[in-house]
Amino acid sequence: MKLYFYTGPNCSLCDLAIEELNLSACAEQVTIETRNIRNDHDWYHRYAVRIPVLQRADNGQELGWPFSAADIEEFVH
C-alpha cells in the first residue's frame, strides 16, 4: 500500500509522526511518499495548519495528527 505523508520544514510534530510510522507493525508493508506542503500551492492551503497528515493513495482517506502506531495499523488495514 502507498501512503502520502504531508509534512513541512522544521515540523517537530512531523518528527514525532515519523517515529510512530517506524514503530508501527505495518512499516514494512507500506510505501511512504513524503510531500512537503511548501512545494505545492494546493497542499499548502489544504494542510498548512493540519500537518502531519497521512493519506491513503488508493482512496484518499486521511489520518491526521495526533496518531499512534496502533492508529496507523488500523488505518492501513
pLDDT, one tens digit per residue, over 14-52 is 999 999 999 998 888 899 999 999 999 999 999 999 999
Residue 13's pLDDT is 97
pLDDT at residue number 34? 96
Q: For residue 6, what are the domain limits? A: 2-76
C-alpha cell at position 73: 495499523
* Angle between helix 69-76 and 12-23 (nearest 10): 70
Number of domains, the chain: 1
Predicted TM-score of the model (pTM): 0.93
Q: Which of 29, 34, 7 is nearest to 76 (CA)?
A: 29
Looking up residue 41, the CATH number of its domain turns out to be 3.40.30.10
